[in-house]
Structure 1
Amino acid sequence: MSRSISGSETGSADGSTRSADAVQGLLSSLLRHAPRDMSLTSLAALSTLNRTGPRRITDLAMVEGITQPSATTLVTTLERAGFVERRSDPDDRRVVLVAITASGSDYLRARRRVSTEVFARLVDELTADERSALAAAIPALRRLRELDEEQRDPGPNRTGV
């Protein structure tokens, strides 16, 4: 049986919802500042490859929540841009793996640097107490990212990096 949580209640569900809403709103704001030269799906796939290493297209599609044909198209686009390359699997020469290139890694670092700079300017405008509260939340924010990665990609290619 579910029940509605009123605004006057201060239970953990209400706190979780308020926290999630605040983080979601912040992420949406920050995304508006990001360069628009690549789709979020392409960026997410590139980040996955950077974090986990070479993968089969079918694995990449599963992790990113897209169809295999869409993943194939996405990989072809990233390959033409020089951000990924296809390689033979050393364990099974019939299998093709997709790996990020040095250019792809450089691109991700540059994107992150721009986003970090935008966010850092906003953080600089906070009061000392607000900056301290944000710093105290860093371990929880990192853990949320880990939990998301574990849920999206529980497979053997996951390195936890």
Structure 2
Amino acid sequence: MTGEPAGPEGLDYLTFVDYAITKTSAELPKVDPVAMRLCITLHRLASTLVYDWESTVHRPRGYSWGGFRVLFVLWMAEPLEAKRVATLSGMSRAAVSALVNTLERDGLVSRRQAEHDRRAVLLSLTEAGHKAITNSFEKHNEREQAWANALSKPEQSILIGLLEKLATSDAANEAKRRF
């Protein structure tokens, strides 16, 4: 908690959390304020991270956060069918399809028919796509390091363990089944 919440007129990005928890708890006493704070804080941090990466690394290189995710998955595991790219990137098939159209048009991704199933299409990075992802990932990782350096190495390890525990929880597994 960051202290007494201000009124609505004095709120900023972080103090809004205190205000929202106080107001929600007053109106809905059964709400768990700790769970609410945890989830709002995680969401806000994740949104801020994505905004930082996209605005400082990916948009200046001509692609979106989603485009980076597709390129990264292909870099790590190509060739892949689009449905596997969707699974591994945490995006819908429709989103991957739209992104691949753009990435293919820009010469970063290629498609070819799968030998095992004529209906399946395999996606791969082009030479330009490989160069784009490796060049941008170095800059991306510089930003990751800037964020991670706010914590000591032991704190980083503890946080990673806690986040992995959340990511493998029953609630997370239930959500993943809906993908």
**Same fold (TM > 0.5):** yes
- The residue type paired with residue 39 of structure 1 is S
1:99 Cα offset (Å): 2.0
1:71 CA displacement? 4.5
TM-score, normalised to structure 2's length?
0.55
Root mean square deviation, CA, Å? 3.8
Consecutive unaligned residues of structure 1, counting only runs of 5 or more, are: 8-13, 155-161
1:138 equivalent to 2:165? Answer no
Greater shift after overlay, 25-34 or 102-111?
102-111
Please say if 1:65 is aligned against 2:101.
no
> Which residue of the other structure, out of 110, 116, 124, is the alignment partner of 1:85?
110
Amino acid at match of 1:115: H
**C-alpha displacement at 1:77, in angstroms?**
1.8
Residue 108 (structure 1) aligned with residue 133 (structure 2) = yes
**2:41 match:** 22
Q: Is the alpha carbon distance of 1:43 and 1:145 closer, same or farther for their aligned partners in structure 2, counting shifts above 3 Å? A: farther
Q: Which amino acid aligns with 1:136?
A: I
Query: Aligned residue pairs: how many?
Result: 141
| Contact kept in structure 1, 2:82 and 2:93, CA below 8 Å | no
Q: Which moved more, 1:76-85 or 1:41-50?
A: 41-50
Structure-1 separation of matches of 2:168 and 2:108 = 25
Structure-2 separation of matches of 1:77 and 1:59: 18
Residue 86 of structure 1, CA deviation: 0.9
What is the one-letter code of the residue matched to 1:42? G
Higher relative contact order (CA closer than 8 Å, sequence separation 6+) = 1
Give TM-score scaled by structure 1 length: 0.60
* More deviation, 30-39/105-114: 105-114
Q: Which has the higher helix share?
A: 2
2:122 aligns to what?
97
Deviation string 1:46-97 (CA, Å, 9 cap, x unpaired) is 3343444334446656762253xx6544323211323211112121345322
| One-letter amino acid of the structure 2 residue matched with residue 64 of structure 1 | M
Of the three residues 120, 140, 149, the one matched with 2:145 is 120
Displacement, 1:39? 2.0
Residues 115-147 of structure 1, C-alpha deviations (whole Å, 9 max, x = no match):
332232344345x5xx53232122343465678
Matched, 1:33 2:52: yes
Q: Output the CA distance in 2 between the equivalents of 1:124 and 1:26.
A: 15
Percent identity among equivalent residues? 23
